[in-house]
Amino acid sequence: MKKAVNVTILLTAINMFAGDYGKIPEQFNPNKVIQRTAVESTPRRGLANFYYKLENGQDVTIAYIGNAVTRPGGFCDGVTRHIQEQYPKSNVKSIVKGLVGTRSLLGALRLQYDILRFKPDLLVIEFNMKDGEIPVIEARKSMEGIVRQLWTANSMADIIFVYTVLMGKELKNLQKGVISKSKCIHEDVADYYGIPSVDMGCEIARLERARKLVMKSPEKRKDGKIGFAPNGWVPYNSTGQKLYAQSIIRALPEMKKSGKATSHLPLPPPMVKGAYDHVITSMIDHKKIQFNGNWEKLSRENPIVKRYQDRAEKFYRFKPGAKISLRFSGEKLFLYYMTGPDCGKFKVRIDNGKEKVLNSFTPWSCHYRLTSMLISDKLPPGEHEITITVLNEKTEKRSILWKHRKNDFDKNPEKFDGLNLYPIALFSVCY
């Protein structure tokens, strides 16, 4: 145990004082990952701008963006509450924008509406759990895109990368001192831009190895052990989320001491070509978007959209035959939408290109959730026009659902009637 602690301290010191920020290592390959050793926290350039405001009694806003773990009542609340207690003269506001089952790509796309309009002083980013499922270079583009968008909008804002842990192979590797592929990718970005990071999973791995914590467990146990999560990775607020918050809180003093208050501009060149740092957001109610046919605006009290009220000003249901059209600029186009049991197919045409049929019903569509899909890639620079038409074409929904979700269809097939589309926004990416 003593040896592991010494390794952690040494690695932290190396990262603090040997980091050549804004310089790409000679061995760097954007499509490959170099294995890294587990370290609970690395302060790098710290949070000097954020703490400067707090030390001077100024109000601050902390924004959190990530996956299912990033939620109200979880580690976010614990960290915000701690900082508020440490600086009672400041008003510490919290913005929490996690989305279940999403990756840093959607984080980069939705950053403008979900985060940037609130002008945060500190952004806490948690996306390692799902970023291991996408190509390495895509994860790099997305994480860089988030960083660069924030600092372009507010050069004095600070950032922390935080990492979670999943039961199974990832946990066992962490106990051996090795971190996952996605964490390595995020650490590369953190090194390049001097962003502090916290691996909240290190303490979980230590407690599980010591048999003081059970990863998949009821919340309350009679044997005195900590029940971490109902599913092995999204923690209970009363246990695992508190441990996650404590990991960040332990790291804050070193982050406070590191670096100096200064602008993060000018930005160095991106580590990889094609970073998602210029995203144009067109919410579905944007004045440039035109509707035709059978559509309706949904009440904000509608149970379908009630849980997502903070993700858009207006929500719409488009039925078969309805059309949506938009003129946009960019080389990539994504649709941000709500999937659910009554969703179906639609076709898209960009400019005078071929029509393409896509499906808004997914393996997760037993319940309503926000997600995104790539509509078109490698468009020529300049202005384009897209037309989306909702189709009256049946979908074999049961065959699309995950195996463990098919029983839901069998019990209530009427729930899956409908062939609707629930668009939230269109995101165009410019290079």
For residue 17, give the 3-state DSSP assignment. helix
User: Domain containing 195 — which CATH number?
Assistant: 3.40.50.1110
Whether residue 145 is contained in a domain is answered as yes
Q: Mean pLDDT throughout 106-126?
A: 98
Q: Are residues 112 and 145 in the same domain?
A: yes
Number of domains in the chain: 2
19 pLDDT tier (thresholds 50, 70, 90): low
Asked whether residue 16 carries a pLDDT value surpassing 80, the answer given is: no
Residue 329 and residue 220 share a domain: no
Each residue's pLDDT tens digit, 142-151: 999 999 999 9
Q: What pLDDT, on the 0 to 100 scale, is given for residue 7? A: 34
Which position has the higher pLDDT, 16 or 361? 361
d(CA 368, CA 385) in angstroms, rounded, equals 29
Is residue 14's pLDDT more than 60? no
- Report the amino acid identity of residue 261: A
- Whether the per-residue pLDDT at 110 is higher than 70: the answer is yes
pLDDT for the residue 140: 98
pLDDT in tens, 176-191: 999 999 999 999 999 9
Residues 246, 297: one domain? Answer: no
Residue 410 lies in a domain: yes
Q: In this structure, is residue 273 part of a structural domain?
A: no
Predicted structure pTM score: 0.94
Q: Is the pLDDT of residue 17 over 90?
A: no
Average pLDDT of the residues in 250-269: 97
* Domain end residue (candidates: 194, 226, 257): 257
Last residue of a domain, one of 197, 225, 257: 257
340 pLDDT above the threshold of 70: yes
Say if 298 falls within a structural domain.
yes
Residue 263 forms part of a structural domain? no
Q: Is the pLDDT of residue 4 over 90?
A: no
Q: Percent of the chain beyond pLDDT 90?
A: 93
DSSP state of 360: -
Map residue 54 onto helix, strand or coil: helix
Which of 223, 257, 291 is the C-terminal boundary of a domain?
257
pLDDT tens digits, 295-307: 999 999 999 888 8
Q: Is 59 helix (H, G, I), strand (E, B) or coil?
A: coil
Q: Would residue 270 count as lying in a domain?
A: no
- CATH number reported for the structural domain that contains residue 354 in this entry: 2.60.120.260
Chain mean pLDDT for the chain: 94
Does one domain contain both 171 and 308? no
DSSP 152-211: HH-TT-EEEEEE---TTHHHHHHHTTB--HHHHHHHHHHHHHT--EEETHHHHHHHHHTT
Q: Is 5 a residue whose pLDDT tops 90?
A: no
**How far, in Å, are 137, 315, 358 from residue 324 at the CA level?**
32, 14, 14
Q: What does the block give as tokens for 138?
A: 């895509």
| Same domain as 297, residue 214 | no
pLDDT of residue 91: 98
In a domain, 272, yes or no: no
What secondary structure, in 3-state letters, does 274-343 show? CCCCCEEEEECCCCCCEEECCEEEECCCCCCCHHHHHHCCCEEEECCCCEEEEEEECCEEEEEEEECCCE
Same domain for 111 and 165, yes or no, is: yes
Q: pLDDT band at residue 318, thresholds of 50, 70 and 90? A: very high
**Residues 390-426 pLDDT 10s:** 999 999 999 999 999 999 999 999 999 999 999 999 9
Nearest to 185 by CA among 148, 131, 146, 108: 131
- The yes-or-no verdict on residue 155 having pLDDT over 80 is yes
Do residues 366 and 412 both lie within one domain? yes
Answer yes or no: are the C-beta atoms of 107 and 378 closer than 8 Å.
no
Residues 232 and 327 in one domain: no
Which range is least confidently modeled, 8-12, 193-197, 203-207? 8-12
At 8 the pLDDT is 38
Both 250 and 288 in one domain: the answer is no
Q: What is the mean pLDDT of residues 34-57?
A: 97
Average the pLDDT over 203-220 and give the result. 98
Query: pLDDT at position 42, please?
Result: 98
Are 88 and 185 contained in the same domain?
Answer: yes
> Which residue range(s) make up the domain with 373?
279-429
Same domain, 239 and 283: no
Residue 389 lies in a domain: yes
Is the per-residue pLDDT at 13 higher than 70?
no
Determine if the peptide bond prior to 269 is cis (ω within 30°): no
Same-domain pairing of 80 and 228: yes
Q: 3 pLDDT exceeds 90?
A: no
